[in-house]
Structure 1
C-alpha cells in the first residue's frame, strides 16, 4: 500500500472521527438536558465526573500502550503474536478496574447515599464495562490497522445511539433507579460496541469476499483468539518491550496531565476533543505505517519521508491556527460562555479567569498532540525509554511548580503548571523532529511560522474583542451581549478569511485530503 493511499485512508478516518465526535457531543448535550428534568444534578455530576473518570482511566492505562505499539509498522507481520499481545489488555484491565475501584470506594470521598444511592454498584459496573470493552481490543486494532472506516463509524454510532435510547427509557420509566440507570447503560454500550466488531469479522471471514482481501492476516474468526504461533513464541518480544516503554510513558502522561475538571475542562477542551483527538489517533496510524520506527529519514524510502513531512507540516499549521483561534477569541468570550452555560454563579467568580487560562492550555494541547503523534510513531524503543526518563524527571519539577503556583494564584496556578509541562513535552518533540529531518531537504517545522499579515489579524481581533467585552459584556443585558457576539463573529470571519488567503498550502491539503470524496471499497 503506497503512502498516498495510506494518507487518503487516514484522512477519511480522521474526518469520520470528527463527525462522530460532533454526533456524540450533540447526543450527550440533549440527553443531559432531558435527564436533569428527572434526576438530581448530584447524580448526573457523579456519573459525568467520578464514574466516567474511573472508566476512562482504566481503559487508558490498560490499552493505550498496546495500541501505540501494535499499530506501529505495516500490516505485514506475524499477526498471531500481535493478537496474543493484545489479549493481555483484558487481565491488565481487570487489575486496573479492581485497583482503581478500591481507590474510588476506599480513598475518595463516598457521596451521601441519601443523595446519590447505589454508588458502590456504579463503581463496580463502570469498571466491569471497561473490562468488557477490552474484549474487543484485538478486533479494534486489526480494523484500525487495515483502515476499516465504515466499521468504526457504524459500531460507535450504533452503540452511542442505543445507549442513549436505553438511558432515556430508564430515566423516564424508572427514575428511582438512580446510578443503576447509567451503570447498566454503560455496560450495554460496551457490550454492543464489542459485539459489532465480533459480528462484523465473523460474517466477513465466513464470506467469499474475505478471499479477495489478501492483506487480511486472518482467515477464520478463531484466528483472532489467543493461540500458539508456528515458531512457538506466544508474543513478539520486540512489540512487548515497545509496549512496556509506551506503558511507562502513558502512566506518567496520565499523572502529569490529569487535574483540570468539571465545567471549565468540559468547555475549554471541547474543541480540542472534537478536532484534535480524531486527527491525532488517525494520523498516528498514518505515520506508523509509512515510516520505519527507529530509522533515520535518509535511510528510508524518500517518497514516504517526503509525504510524511508534508502531512506533518500541514497538521502542525492546522493545530497552530486552531489553537490560536481558540486562545485569542476564548479570552474575550470566556465570561459570556460561562454566563450562558451556568448563569451568574459561574460567570461572576473565578470561572472566567480559569477558562481564559485553559484557552492557552488548549493551544499547547493542539500542538503537542500533533508533535507527539509523529514522534511516538517514529521513535525507536530506546528513544521512547529516554523520553520516559525525561518525563520522570519532569514529574518532580511539575509537582513543585504546581504547589508553588497554586499557593500563589489558586486554581489558575495548576493550569499554568500544566502549560509548563505541555511546553516541555512540545520542546522534546520539536527537538526530535528537527533531528529526524536535519539531513533531509524537508523542513516541516517551518509551518510554525505564520505570515505577519495573519499574526497582525490575530492581534487586531484580540484587541477589538477585548474592548468589546469591556463595554458590551456581560451585565448590560442581551442586546449588548448579541452585539458582542456580532463583533466576535466579524473578527472571526476576518481572521479565517486572512488565513484562507495566506495559508494556501494548508487549504490545498484540507481540500485534497478531507474535502474530496474518494472511491471506497466495501471494507472501508
Structure 2
C-alpha cells in the first residue's frame, strides 16, 4: 500500500514539475506574443490580424483537435492498462484522420466561407493550404509526443516548445517588419518553419534516447526507433479494443469541447457577425485577457488531469480504492481550486480598474477607444469562471467511466447548442462583448455539472474538496476594499490627467494588491503548506536527479 501511495506522490510531483515548466513556457510564449502583437499593431492592419489570428489559426487548431485530442486523452489513462505497442499502433490512426480532416476543412475555408477581398488581402488560398499542411505534418510527431507526455519528459517538452515558439515569433516579426508586402505569406512561412522544427526535434531526441540512454531506463517501453512505427506484438491484437472504445468517447467529447472553447470564432467565421477588422481587434483583446488563463490555468488543468488520471481508477467506486490515494487526490483538488480561485478573483478585481490604462499604454487609441476596455473588463470575469471550470473538469474527466463520458457527450452537445445560440443573440445586442458573456454562461453550466459529479463521487466519504472554491472572509474583505479603492482611483486619477496621475493610480493598485496577498498569507495556511511541501519535494527530487 505504501508503495502505491509513493507512486501516486511521484506522479503528483511530476505533474507539478510539468505545471511549473508549462507555466514558464506559457509565460515566455505570452510575453513573446504580447511583444509580437504590439509590433504587428504598427505594421499590419487589423484586417490582416483577423484573417491570420482568427481564420487561419482556427483552421489549424480545428484539424488538430478533431484528429488527435481524443487519442491524447485516452492513451494516458491509468485504467486502460495498455500495452505501449498497441498505443503506438492506435496513435498512427491519427494520420489518415488528419489528412481527411485537413482536406475537408480546407475546402470549407476556401469555398464555403466568406473570403477576404483578394485585392486588399491577396494569397489567402496559400495561407489555407499552408496552415492545413502544417497541421498534418505536426500530426506525424504524435507517437513521440505522446510518449514524452505519458512518461513525463517534462523538460524535453518545455525545451522543444520554447525553441519552436521563439523561432516562429522571431520569423514572424522579421518578415512583417522587413517584408511588409508579403502579407499572409509571411505568417505561412513562420508556421511552416515552426512545424518542421517541432517534428524534427522530437524524433531526433528519441532517436538519440533509445540508442544511448534507454539501457539505463528499464521502465521505458520503446527499445528501438522502429517501435515508434506500427508493429504487431506476438500474441496480441494490433490495437486494444478497450482503448478504441475509450478513444471514440473522447473524440466525440473533444469535438464538442472545441465548439465550446472556440465557439465565438466559429460564429465569427460561419455567420460573419463581425468584419475581419473587428475580429482582429477582438482577437488582440482576447489574447490580452487570456494571459492568466493560458499562462497558469491551462498548465494546471493539463498537469492536474495527468495526475488524477494516473491516480484514480476509472469505473471503480471510491470506497474500493486506496484510501490514502483518495485522500491525496482530494487534498490536491481542494488546493488547486483554492489557488486558481484566488488568482481569478485578483484578475477580476484589479482588471476592472486597470483595463483602460493597460490598453492605452499597449495599443494606444486603437484599443483604448471604443469597446476595448469594456471587453477586457468582462473578460476578467470570464477568467475567474474558466479558472474554476478547468480545474473541476480535469478531475471529472479523469474520474469518469466510459458510460459517464458518453453521457457527458450528450450534455456537451446541449451546452454547445445553447452557447452558439447565446453567442449569436448576445452579439446582435451587445457586439463583441456578447461573445464573452456567452462563454461565461456556457462555462457556468459546465461548472454546475462538474460540481454535481464531484459531489456524487465523494458521497458518503469524509472528503469535501469543493470547499476550495470558497475564499476566506479576510481575503474577501480585502478584495472588496481593493475594488472600491481602485475604482475610485480610476475615476479621480486616470487616464487623461497626465502621466503623474497615472503613476499614482498604478501605485494605489500595487498597495491594494499587496494587502490582498497579505490576507491570503495570513488566512490560508493549509494552502501555503501544500505549495511549500510540493516545492520542497520537487527540489529534493531534482537534486537527486542531478
- Paired position in structure 1 for 2:219: 215
- Paired position in structure 1 for 2:293: 272
CA distance in 2, matches of 1:35, 1:329: 27
Task: Assess, with a 3 A threshold, how the Cα gap between structure 1 residues 523 and 288 changes in structure 2: closer, same or farther.
Answer: farther
> C-alpha deviations, 1:82-110, integer Å up to 9, x for none?
11111122222222222222222123332
- Paired position in structure 2 for 1:21: 26
CA distance in 2, matches of 1:494, 1:131: 50
> C-alpha deviations, 1:194-253, integer Å up to 9, x for none?
11111111111112x312212111111111111223335222121111111112112112
- Paired position in structure 1 for 2:405: 384
Task: Assess, with a 3 A threshold, how the Cα gap between structure 1 residues 36 and 332 changes in structure 2: closer, same or farther.
Answer: closer
Out of 328, 333, 343, the position equivalent to 1:307 is 328
Shift of 1:520: 3.8
Give the RMSD, CA atoms, in angstroms: 2.3
CA distance in 2, matches of 1:398, 1:279: 25
> C-alpha deviations, 1:350-405, integer Å up to 9, x for none?
22222222211111111011001111011011001111112223333334444444
Out of 247, 252, 264, the position equivalent to 1:248 is 252
Q: Is 2:377 aligned against 1:356?
A: yes
Task: Assess, with a 3 A threshold, how the Cα gap between structure 1 residues 75 and 330 changes in structure 2: closer, same or farther.
Answer: same
Task: Assess, with a 3 A threshold, how the Cα gap between structure 1 residues 168 and 413 changes in structure 2: closer, same or farther.
Answer: closer
Shift of 1:441: 2.0
- Paired position in structure 2 for 1:234: 238
Q: Is 2:178 aligned against 1:178?
A: no
Q: Please, which runs of 5 or more residues in structure 1 have no aligned partner? A: none
Deviation larger for 48-57 or 394-403 = 394-403
Shift of 1:11: 0.6
CA distance in 2, matches of 1:457, 1:64: 41
Out of 412, 420, 425, the position equivalent to 2:441 is 420
Task: Assess, with a 3 A threshold, how the Cα gap between structure 1 residues 236 and 135 changes in structure 2: closer, same or farther.
Answer: same
Shift of 1:181: 2.4
Task: Assess, with a 3 A threshold, how the Cα gap between structure 1 residues 351 and 173 changes in structure 2: closer, same or farther.
Answer: closer
- Paired position in structure 1 for 2:95: 90
Q: Please, which runs of 5 or more residues in structure 2 have no aligned partner? A: 1-5, 266-281
Shift of 1:165: 4.3
Task: Count residues with an aligned counterpart.
Answer: 523
Shift of 1:456: 0.9
- Paired position in structure 1 for 2:361: 340
Deviation larger for 191-200 or 251-260 = 251-260
CA distance in 1, matches of 2:48, 2:421: 35
Paired residues of 1:42 and 1:115 also in contact (CA < 8 A)? no
> TM-score, normalised on structure 2?
0.90
CA distance in 1, matches of 2:439, 2:354: 22
CA distance in 2, matches of 1:392, 1:137: 27
CA distance in 1, matches of 2:92, 2:309: 21
Shift of 1:174: 4.5
Q: Is 2:474 aligned against 1:470?
A: no
Paired residues of 2:479 and 2:516 also in contact (CA < 8 A)? yes
Deviation larger for 42-51 or 248-257 = 42-51
Task: Assess, with a 3 A threshold, how the Cα gap between structure 1 residues 244 and 469 changes in structure 2: closer, same or farther.
Answer: same
**SS at structure 2 position matched to 1:292:** coil
- Paired position in structure 2 for 1:198: 203
Shift of 1:278: 1.1
CA distance in 2, matches of 1:111, 1:408: 25
Task: Assess, with a 3 A threshold, how the Cα gap between structure 1 residues 246 and 107 changes in structure 2: closer, same or farther.
Answer: same
CA distance in 2, matches of 1:171, 1:355: 27
CA distance in 2, matches of 1:135, 1:404: 40
- Paired position in structure 2 for 1:397: 418
Paired residues of 1:75 and 1:215 also in contact (CA < 8 A)? no
Out of 326, 333, 339, the position equivalent to 1:318 is 339
> C-alpha deviations, 1:99-150, integer Å up to 9, x for none?
2222221233322333332211111111111111111111111111111112
Q: Is 2:155 aligned against 1:150?
A: yes
CA distance in 1, matches of 2:321, 2:238: 30
> TM-score, normalised on structure 1?
0.94
Task: Assess, with a 3 A threshold, how the Cα gap between structure 1 residues 61 and 436 changes in structure 2: closer, same or farther.
Answer: same
Shift of 1:169: 5.0
Shift of 1:45: 4.3
Paired residues of 2:333 and 2:395 also in contact (CA < 8 A)? yes
- Paired position in structure 2 for 1:113: 118
Deviation larger for 385-394 or 132-141 = 385-394
Task: Assess, with a 3 A threshold, how the Cα gap between structure 1 residues 108 and 390 changes in structure 2: closer, same or farther.
Answer: same
CA distance in 2, matches of 1:79, 1:46: 41
CA distance in 2, matches of 1:39, 1:6: 45
Paired residues of 2:34 and 2:288 also in contact (CA < 8 A)? no
CA distance in 1, matches of 2:47, 2:424: 29
Q: Is 2:540 aligned against 1:518?
A: yes
- Paired position in structure 2 for 1:281: 302
- Paired position in structure 1 for 2:60: 55
**SS at structure 2 position matched to 1:206:** helix
Task: Assess, with a 3 A threshold, how the Cα gap between structure 1 residues 38 and 358 changes in structure 2: closer, same or farther.
Answer: closer
Task: Assess, with a 3 A threshold, how the Cα gap between structure 1 residues 171 and 336 changes in structure 2: closer, same or farther.
Answer: closer
Deviation larger for 412-421 or 74-83 = 74-83
